[in-house]
Amino acid sequence: MGEGIVMALKQARSQKAYEKALSLMPGGVNSPVRAFRAVGGTPFFADHGEGPYLYDIDGNRYIDYLMSWGPLIWGHAHPEIVRAVTEAAARGMSFGVPTEWETRMAELVISLVPSIEVVRMVNSGTEATMSALRLARAYTGRPVIVKFEGCYHGHADSLLVKAGSGVATFGLPDSPGVPEATAKTTLTAPYNDLAAVESLFAAHGERIAAVIVEPVAGNMGCVLPEPGFLAGLRALTERYGALLIFDEVMTGFRVALGGAQARFSVRPDLTTLGKVIGAGMPVGAYGGRREIMSLIAPDGPVYQAGTLSGNPLAMAAGWTSLSMLAAAGDALYERMERYGQALVDAFVALGRRKGIPTFGVAVGGMFGLFFHEGPVTDYAAAKACDTRMYARFFHAMLEEGVALAPSQLEAGFLSAVHTEAELAETVAALERAFARL
Ligand SMILES: *Cc1c(COP(=O)(O)O)cnc(C)c1O
């Protein structure tokens, strides 16, 4: 029997569930990459998760490196986080007046993220970046923003330009529906290309409100900033009076406790957060220098609001997760990186043995696996990867009980509850998967 047929039998209930979902939701999903279009086949449906394991509705168990696309740094259904959320829920789901949870959360986020003096909670990463841009434009009185090819900052109109990730997977350079006038206010440069940013500033310096960047890119696979790139952006934005925005929706509390800005010692003016900050609940945040944040309503004229922002369940989950991270400290990030590096090393060595070009990166609790000889430093390189090989590899790993991201242009995620045992099992799975490539 072919591999595809074996898996189809093992996932019969998921297939049925997907067929039903297809008639009711666009592509059967509520977020495009979940539909597996980049790797073919049909998605499996989650039944429940426990620690590093995800179980589908057919009863298959996977060691999970998707981790809900990053938020689950404490794994699935961590007892402390579940307890915090259920206790909060029993007291009321939402109030629409302030709670002390919000203050507790703000205090903790400000203490952990070096550049944040004042913070505003929102409900998603998209909302955070969209709001940060509005604020940057208001603060500088300038219309234009600079972003990097292959960086994804959520689906706000002005950020859906060369946006990597799911957008790239679907070959939509710019989404239809984004007004041309809006797209025109977004300038793009290749990631890690400081000279390109310098020429954008030379030509349009007085009109640029902000440079927004993923300080480690995680939406074109996992791509590291080259030495001097982030510091160079800091210097350029300062010289031209523009703001530097680190989109740490993925990297925040994930590449280090204080995010990429702590790890690479560069202080942005504004930071956006998401994913890990909510521990699986819908949370985003943006924050930065007091002087800039004081423009936000009701202190200032820049409007931004949310009926469910700072929701008590979300704050309880996020606060509990971040407190546990703070207690675990740097040792946790070092261990996750060691495990990620071990996975990358095994992947690269197995590829080399078979004559298949492979390259990988591990940073904190994030990693990237590329079918490319490397190094992958920008979107052009990331796009040149062998996506067909990745699709075969992805399905082979699924059959071996390991869930990776269903696209090569996405990062992989470790958690605090992945242990040596899962690592060893994953390396064994890699060996068997490569034997079939
Ligand atoms: C996921 C992501 C976003 C969007 O966050 P959502 O919660 O999906 O809206 C923005 N920026 C980066 C860097 C991300 O990884």
Does 417 have pLDDT greater than 60?
yes
Instruction: Look up tokens 């000279």; give the residue.
Output: 195
Separation of CA 57 and ligand 1 centre (Å)? 27
pLDDT of residue 181: 82
Does 165 have pLDDT greater than 70?
no
Residues 380-391: pLDDT tens digits? Answer: 999 999 999 999
Pocket test for ligand 1, best of 155, 250, 277 (most atoms within 8 A of CB): 250
pLDDT of residue 307: 97
Q: Which of 147, 162, 275, 383 is catalytic?
A: 275
Does 169 have pLDDT greater than 50?
no
Q: How many Cα neighbours within 13 Å face the side chain of 418? A: 31
Q: What is the mean pLDDT of residues 183-210?
A: 95
* Domain at 12-77+330-435, CATH homologous superfamily: Aspartate Aminotransferase, domain 1 (3.90.1150.10)
Residues 337-389: pLDDT tens digits? Answer: 999 999 999 999 999 999 999 999 999 999 999 999 999 999 999 999 999 99
Instruction: Look up tokens 């390396």; give the residue.
Output: 427
Q: Place 123 in a pLDDT band, splitting at 50, 70 and 90.
A: very high
pLDDT of residue 136: 98
For the CA of 127, the closest atom of ligand 1 is 9
Does 170 have pLDDT greater than 60?
no
Given this structure, which CATH class describes domain 79-328?
Answer: alpha beta
Q: Average pLDDT over the chain, rounded to whole? A: 95
Residues of the chain with CATH 3.40.640.10: 79-328
pLDDT of residue 160: 81
User: Which tokens is 67 given?
Assistant: 């981790």
Separation of CA 170 and ligand 1 centre (Å)? 17
Residues 254-310: pLDDT tens digits? Answer: 999 999 999 999 999 999 999 999 999 999 999 999 999 999 999 999 999 999 999
Helix (H, G, I), strand (E, B) or coil at 378: coil
Separation of CA 433 and ligand 1 centre (Å)? 30
| Distance in angstroms between the alpha carbons of the first and the last residue of the chain | 16
Ligand 1, atom 8: nearest CA belongs to which residue?
125
Pocket test for ligand 1, best of 69, 130, 152 (most atoms within 8 A of CB): 152
Residues of the chain with CATH 3.90.1150.10: 12-77+330-435
Separation of CA 148 and ligand 1 centre (Å)? 15
Q: Place 172 in a pLDDT band, splitting at 50, 70 and 90.
A: very low
Pocket of ligand 1 (CB under 6 A): 124-126, 129, 152-154, 214, 218-219, 247, 249-250, 274, 284
CA dihedral 224, 228, 231, 232 (to 10 degrees): -110
275 is catalytic: yes
Predicted TM-score (pTM) of this structure: 0.96
